[in-house]
């Protein structure tokens, strides 16, 4: 069972990652199937990250929303809602080229958000602030 403290910590990490990655160009895909045979569905390519939100009290369990695009007024935007989240993995590379978020649900789907450009903050600042330590000046 997830404790409130644990969900608050996950929410804080996602919020920090979202803030540091806001505006970066993305690629969004969904993978499903067995390890021996996996289908991949690429949903978008190039929209900037607007935000990542966690709702710990979703109908099917925790929910995450990935918001992409220039905003609701723009014709180029989308939101991907993942219900029944079972795991979240954030990958931070030293260069920023391989940064990603992988979100798995209880139905066997994994949503992957990758970035196509470099982050606007230093990798050191991003790495330390996600761990809760103050970012270096």
φ/ψ of 16, rounded to 5, equals: -65, -45
Closest CA to 114 of 101, 127, 105: 101
What is the fold of 4-130?
Protein Yojf; Chain: A; (2.70.180)
Q: What is the mean pLDDT of each run of 10 residues along the chain (137 residues)?
A: 81 94 94 87 92 94 93 78 96 89 94 86 48 47
φ/ψ of 94, rounded to 5, equals: -60, -35
Predicted pLDDT of residue 23:
93
Domain locations in the chain as residue ranges: 4-130
Predicted pLDDT of residue 126:
47
Predicted pLDDT of residue 120:
67
Predicted pLDDT of residue 50:
95
Predicted pLDDT of residue 124:
44
| Residue pair 129/136 in contact by the 8 Å Cβ criterion | no
pTM of the model: 0.80
Predicted pLDDT of residue 129:
47
- Rounded to the nearest 10°, the torsion over CA 125, 130, 131, 135 is 30
Name the percent of the chain in helix, strand, coil, to the closest 5. Answer: 20, 45, 35
């Amino acid at each position: 069972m997830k404790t409130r403290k644990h969900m608050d910590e996950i929410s804080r990490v996602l919020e920090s990652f979202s803030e540091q990655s806001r505006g970066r160009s993305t690629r969004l895909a969904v993978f499903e199937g067995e390890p021996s045979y996996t289908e991949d569905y690429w949903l978008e390519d190039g929209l900037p990250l607007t935000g990542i939100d966690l709702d710990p009290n979703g109908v099917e369990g925790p929910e995450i929303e990935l918001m992409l695009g220039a905003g609701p007024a723009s014709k180029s935007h989308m939101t991907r809602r993942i219900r029944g989240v079972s795991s979240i993995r954030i990958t931070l590379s030293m260069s920023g080229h391989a940064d990603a978020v992988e979100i798995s649900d209880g139905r066997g789907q994994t949503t992957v958000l990758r970035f196509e450009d470099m982050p606007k903050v230093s990798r050191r600042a991003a790495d330390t602030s996600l761990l809760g330590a103050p970012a270096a000046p």
